[in-house]
Structure 1
Amino acid sequence: MSDTMQKISTGLERAFAAGGFAEPSVETLRDAAGVSLRTLYKYTPSRGDMVLAALENRHRRYLARVFDDLPEASDAALDAILDRVADWMRTETSHGCLFHAAVAADPASPALRDLLERHKAEVAARANAACGLPPEDLALTLVIEGLTQTWPLASDAALDASRRLARPLITG
């Protein structure tokens, strides 16, 4: 990815996370990307392309932040994953999953649905691998999704509940 595209994607991600997918005007998106309108449209020719670029950026950042350099022990990895998801919610988005919000804003978009499915599948695979769970097991995915979706209502109480629900998954 070029430096310009990275700059655009990062700015678009911030703009959509702050203002949703319908609210930001093209001028707001251009300003957030820090490029001219011509450059914005050169790299992302439509609003749909802008949303996809923003979400691809978010996908990469989320995976790195939650799953890079996890402890090797399953119980420590589980605690780290849940803590990092909570930290993400606390610092990046306190109102739920941006991927789900994008699909809700444009439910007819196959590209958005594919990106949502890919993101969630990669989160599940990495979480299960880190915690020593079978790849097809959905339980930890449900706990992580529950934490993400419940965070806006319960914040740290959602983290505490997630820990209580997830601990038996790795201890048998």
Structure 2
Amino acid sequence: MSDLQNQIDAGLERAFATHGFAEPNIETLRKATGVSLRTLYKYVPSREEMILRALEYRNSRYMAHVFTEAVETEPNPLESIMDRVATWMDLETTHGCLFHAAVASAPQDEKLRALLNRHKAEMAERAARISGMLGLEDEISVIVEGLMQSWPLRGQGAVEAAKTLCGLMSKTKRSDTE
């Protein structure tokens, strides 16, 4: 991906994260990308594509942030993942998941729904693989989703609750294999 495409995608992500999906007009989006209107439309020809590109960019940043190599070497990788999700929430999205917000803004949009599903499935699969809990992707997904939804109200309390649930799930898995 070119530097200019990254600049456009990053600007679109910031604009939608700041203003939501309904509010920003094309001039706001153009300013956020730092390019001319002609260049913006050359690289991203429609508003729908702008949203998808912004979310794809967000997905790559989120995965890189949450699933660092350091997480894989931690004694409790799933708890470390919960800490990384909390850091993401604190720094990037204090009021909820941008993917859910996109789908809420256009509930009939199948491309957005597919992107949301792919993002959540990838997160759960990677967390399950890293933590040695393959087969528990749904449970991990529910814990992470609960953390993300609770974060705006409970902050660190939501993180501690998520870690407690991860610990219980880990103990249950260990006792099932013994």
Say whether the fold is shared (TM-score over 0.5): yes
Which one-letter code corresponds to 1:139 in the other structure? E
Deviations 1:108-160 (A, max 9, x none): 11111110011011001001011111245411111111001111111111111
* Residue of structure 2 in register with 1:139 after alignment: 139
Q: How many angstroms does 1:171 deviate by?
A: 2.5
TM-score, with length taken from structure 2: 0.92
* Residue of structure 2 in register with 1:33 after alignment: 33
* Residue of structure 2 in register with 1:148 after alignment: 148
SS in 2 for 1:138: helix
Q: How many angstroms does 1:170 deviate by?
A: 1.6
Equivalent runs, 1:10-159 vs 2, <5 Å: 10-69=10-69, 70-73=71-74, 75-135=75-135, 137-159=137-159
Deviations 1:55-89 (A, max 9, x none): 0000000001001212335x521121001000000
Which one-letter code corresponds to 2:168 in the other structure? P
Larger Rg: 2
Q: How many angstroms does 1:48 deviate by?
A: 0.6
Distance in 2 separating the partners of 1:144 and 1:165 = 10
Deviations 1:77-108 (A, max 9, x none): 11210010000000000011100110110111
Distance in 1 separating the partners of 2:137 and 2:117 = 16
Give yes or no for the alignment of 1:170 onto 2:167: no
Distance in 1 separating the partners of 2:66 and 2:98 = 16
Which one-letter code corresponds to 2:119 in the other structure? H
Distance in 1 separating the partners of 2:167 and 2:140 = 10
Distance in 2 separating the partners of 1:72 and 1:87 = 19
- Alignment RMSD (CA, Å): 1.2
Which one-letter code corresponds to 2:115 in the other structure? L
Gap runs ≥5 in structure 1: none
The percentage of counterpart residues that share the same residue type is: 52
Distance in 2 separating the partners of 1:25 and 1:116 = 23
Distance in 1 separating the partners of 2:90 and 2:73 = 25
Paired residues, what number?
171
Gap runs ≥5 in structure 2: 173-178
